């Protein structure tokens, strides 16, 4: 392709990215010509092909995997994905299921707002469209589907020229382009998206291309020790030529790790039933059933009838790590005579009922230990 033709193609691509609202700086003609071509040539031999959602053009499976993979490792997601598609083989099955059943199956994957949005989204897909709609724009109007997930579904399943911009893809692009803006900030993301849009192949190659760039980020362009020696983009990569690979992607906003202490009232009845209360929709473990949670041991005691306060037994505390927070959990055990003793809001659940309930992972572990 001549330099003029290449520049014209870039201008067309930049116009196609119009939704980003960012001025799309022109990239070098060599990069535009070579980027997708090399990824497409690399993928058949070196890309991943063993994940259960790969190779599918079923938007339900692609959507489910994309939502599960947000903030969660592939190795953790695989088992959950199998269990979900076994129990809910289609979006219609998922929409018809009670939310509690969905939360129960999600239990342990964390970020429970994703599970609530998953269910809400399934209901909306069925009610508004009947099936998943085919364009990224329509997909983004659904709960829990952001621009990158919408682009993944639209490109994998409907061959739309929509650029994915998940964490792995951002890293590859930021390094190849030596992209200096903050990829965590809105302006930086819009600019990177406009560049990404210029590098896309033709529509018919979109499913393979999208998979290839995600796979390269996951297996070659690794966060700390990228394998530049086997990378098909090595000779195009500015970060590599500047020997500045781990400087990119630039993230100026660092999320600080915090910690939190919580006390859990572990009330048990003579027959082994435990007292659980549903958590508020927002905040930690939102919408799940849980042992009643208190911010101090005093608050826990004050929540009990006076004559029970001397019967509590503090159990060994343990730590549960969330992505950005360490939880220090203090279980406080209490054996209760259910005919006489009343507790605050909640209800009794027998041990046989626990497997189907949406419970926070550390609480499930505690109750089944
Ligand atoms: S050359 Fe290295 S830094 Fe550049 S894209 Fe490839 S793996 Fe990433």
Looking up residue 293, the CATH number of its domain turns out to be 3.90.79.10
Asked whether the beta carbons of 233 and 300 are under 8 A apart, the reply is no
Asked if residue 273 and residue 237 are part of one domain, the reply reads no
Q: Which of 175, 217, 224, 247 to mutate to test the pocket of ligand 1 (most atoms within 8 A of CB)?
A: 175
Q: Report yes or no on 313 lying in a domain.
A: yes
Determine the residue of 216, 237, 238, 244 to mutate for testing ligand 1's pocket, defined as the one with the most ligand atoms within 8 A of the Cβ atom: 237
Ligand 1 centroid, distance to 80 Cα (angstroms) = 31
Q: How far is the CA of 247 from the centre of ligand 1 (A)?
A: 12
> For residue 186, what pLDDT band results from cuts at 50, 70 and 90?
confident
In ligand 1, which atom is closest to the CA atom of 237?
4
Of the three residues 217, 247, 277, the one that is the final residue of a domain is 247
Q: Let me know if 160 is a catalytic residue.
A: no
On average, the pLDDT of the chain sits at 89
- pLDDT of amino acid 252: 78
In a domain, 252, yes or no: no
In a domain, 18, yes or no: yes
- Tell which of 183, 215, 247 closes a domain: 247
Dist. CA 26–CA 148, nearest whole Å = 22
For residue 235, report the phi and psi dihedrals to the nearest 5 degrees.
Answer: -75, -10
Full domain range(s) for residue 93: 3-247
Instruction: Examine the domain organization and report whether 236 and 347 are in the same domain.
Output: no
> Which residue's alpha carbon is nearest to atom 2 within ligand 1?
228
Name the pLDDT band for 25 (thresholds 50, 70, 90).
Answer: low
Do 339 and 220 fall into the same domain? no
206 and 273 in a single domain? The answer is no
Greater model confidence, 16 or 266: 266
Q: Is residue 253 part of a domain?
A: no
**Residues 101 and 23 placed together within one structural domain of the fold:** yes
- Highest mean pLDDT: which of 13-22, 224-233, 320-329? 224-233
pLDDT at 340: 65
Expressed in angstroms and rounded, the spacing between residue 74 Cα and the centre of ligand 1 is 21
- Cβ neighbours of residue 179 closer than 8 Å, sequence gap 6 or more: 173, 188, 191, 192, 195, 248, 249, 250
Is the CB of 174 inside a 6 Å radius of any atom of ligand 1?
Answer: no
Indicate if the pLDDT at residue 100 is higher than 70: yes
**Does some domain include residue 75?**
yes
* pLDDT at residue number 2: 42
Same domain, 54 and 196: yes
Residue 320 in this model has a pLDDT that exceeds 50: yes
* Domain boundary pick from 247, 281, 302: 247
DSSP H helices in the chain: 3-16, 29-46, 59-69, 74-87, 91-96, 99-106, 112-124, 136-139, 147-158, 167-177, 186-198, 206-219, 238-241, 297-302, 361-368
Q: What is the CATH number of the domain that holds 93?
A: 1.10.340.30
User: What would the mean pLDDT of 288-303 be, rounded to a whole number?
Assistant: 91
CA 48 – CA 108 distance, rounded (Å): 26
Same domain, 236 and 270: no
Residue 262 and residue 354 share a domain? yes
**Number of folded domains that form the chain:** 2
Within a domain: 50: yes
Tokens representing residue 20 in the block: 């980003």
Cα 263 to Cα 317: distance, rounded to the nearest angstrom: 9
Q: Are residues 15 and 143 in the same domain?
A: yes
Q: Which of 248, 320, 328 is nearest to 296 (CA)?
A: 328
Q: What's the CA-to-centroid distance between 69 and ligand 1, angstroms? A: 23
Q: What is the pLDDT of residue 7?
A: 42
Higher pLDDT, 17 or 123: 123
Is 125 strand, coil or helix? Answer: helix
- Pairwise CA distance, residues 158 & 208, whole Å: 12
174 and 295 assigned to the same domain: no
Give the confidence band of 24 by pLDDT, cuts at 50, 70, 90: low
229 in the same domain as 288: no
Cα angle: 249, vertex 19, 7; to 5 degrees: 75
């Amino acid at each position: 392709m001549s330099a003029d033709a290449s520049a014209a193609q870039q201008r067309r691509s930049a116009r196609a990215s119009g939704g980003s609202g960012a001025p799309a700086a022109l990239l070098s003609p060599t990069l535009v010509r070579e980027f997708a071509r090399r990824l497409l040539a690399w993928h058949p031999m070196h890309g991943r092909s063993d994940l259960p959602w790969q190779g599918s053009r079923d938007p339900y499976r692609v959507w489910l995997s994309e939502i599960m993979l947000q903030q969660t490792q592939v190795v953790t997601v695989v088992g959950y994905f199998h269990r979900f598609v076994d129990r809910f083989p289609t979006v219609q099955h998922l929409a018809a299921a009670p939310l509690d059943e969905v939360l129960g199956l999600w239990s342990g994957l964390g970020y429970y707002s994703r599970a609530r949005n998953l269910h809400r989204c399934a209901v909306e897909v069925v009610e508004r469209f009947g099936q998943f709609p085919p364009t990224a724009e329509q997909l983004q109007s659904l709960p829990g589907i952001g621009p990158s997930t919408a682009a993944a579904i639209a490109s994998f399943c409907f061959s739309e020229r929509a650029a994915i911009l998940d964490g792995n893809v951002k890293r590859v692009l930021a390094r190849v382009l030596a992209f200096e803006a903050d990829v965590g900030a809105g302006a930086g993301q819009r600019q990177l998206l406009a560049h990404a849009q210029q590098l896309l192949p033709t529509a018919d190659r979109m499913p393979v291309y999208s998979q290839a760039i995600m796979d390269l980020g996951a297996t070659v362009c690794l966060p700390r020790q990228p394998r530049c020696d086997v990378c098909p983009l090595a000779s195009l990569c500015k970060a590599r030529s500047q020997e500045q690979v781990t400087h990119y992607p630039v993230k100026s906003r660092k999320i600080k790790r915090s910690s939190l202490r919580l006390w859990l009232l572990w009330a048990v009845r003579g027959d082994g039933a435990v007292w659980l209360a549903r958590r508020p929709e927002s905040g930690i473990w939102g919408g799940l059933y849980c042992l009643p949670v208190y911010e101090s041991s005093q608050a826990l005691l004050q929540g009990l009838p006076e004559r029970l306060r001397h019967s509590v037994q503090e159990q060994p505390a343990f730590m549960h790590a969330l992505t950005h927070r360490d939880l220090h959990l203090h279980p406080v055990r209490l054996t209760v005579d259910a005919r006489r003793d009343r507790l605050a809001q909640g209800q009794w659940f027998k041990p046989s009922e626990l497997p189907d309930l949406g419970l926070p992972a550390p609480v499930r572990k505690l109750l089944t230990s």
